[in-house]
């Protein structure tokens, strides 16, 4: 498990969706200097929590590569939905009376999607390697 590269990618996904949202704000009001984190909206908290859970399930399900692949695809879809919600929110934020600054927390789903795509590519490569060895037997 530890020697496979997809483990590293899945750990990065778990960090990006489970730990970093507590550190980086989604946006910040310039007037009040109030930082808005994901916990203030239950939809964002639920989606990030589900993404973290799917990443951990895929990480510890290393013996079943097909299930790991499917969980990663579901996690990609979930992160794209989350990214769409963030983009929608950021577009509606820019038209308000009080100017606001977008935070780096909005880009965390992009990091997660890139890592998940790389993990799926590595899982597929492992699966092809196992199938080729089975053919030689």
Residues 6 or more apart in contact with residue 93 via CB below 8 angstroms: 27, 100, 102
Band of pLDDT at residue 89, cut at 50, 70 and 90: confident
User: Which of the residue ranges 19-28, 79-88, 114-123 would you say has the lowest mean pLDDT?
Assistant: 19-28
Q: Does 97 score more than 90 pLDDT?
A: no
Q: CB–CB of 100/27 below 8 Å?
A: yes
CA distance 125 to 131: 10
The model's pLDDT over 22-72, given as tens digits with 9 standing for 90+, comes to 888 887 766 657 777 888 889 989 999 999 999 999 999 888 889 999 999
Residues 6 or more apart in contact with residue 41 via CB below 8 angstroms: none
- pTM for the whole structure: 0.85
């Amino acid at each position: 498990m530890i020697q496979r590269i997809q483990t590293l990618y899945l750990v990065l996904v778990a960090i990006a969706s489970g730990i970093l949202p507590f550190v980086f704000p989604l946006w910040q009001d310039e007037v009040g200097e109030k930082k808005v984190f994901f916990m203030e909206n239950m939809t964002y908290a639920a989606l990030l929590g589900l993404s973290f859970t799917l990443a951990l399930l895929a990480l510890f399900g290393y013996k079943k590569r097909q299930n790991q692949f499917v969980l990663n695809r579901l996690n990609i879809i979930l992160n794209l939905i989350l990214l769409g919600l963030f983009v929608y929110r950021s577009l509606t934020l820019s038209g308000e009376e009080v100017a606001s600054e977008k935070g780096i927390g909005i880009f965390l789903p992009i990091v997660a999607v890139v890592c998940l795509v790389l993990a799926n590519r590595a899982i597929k490569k492992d699966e092809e390697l196992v199938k080729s060895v089975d053919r030689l037997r």
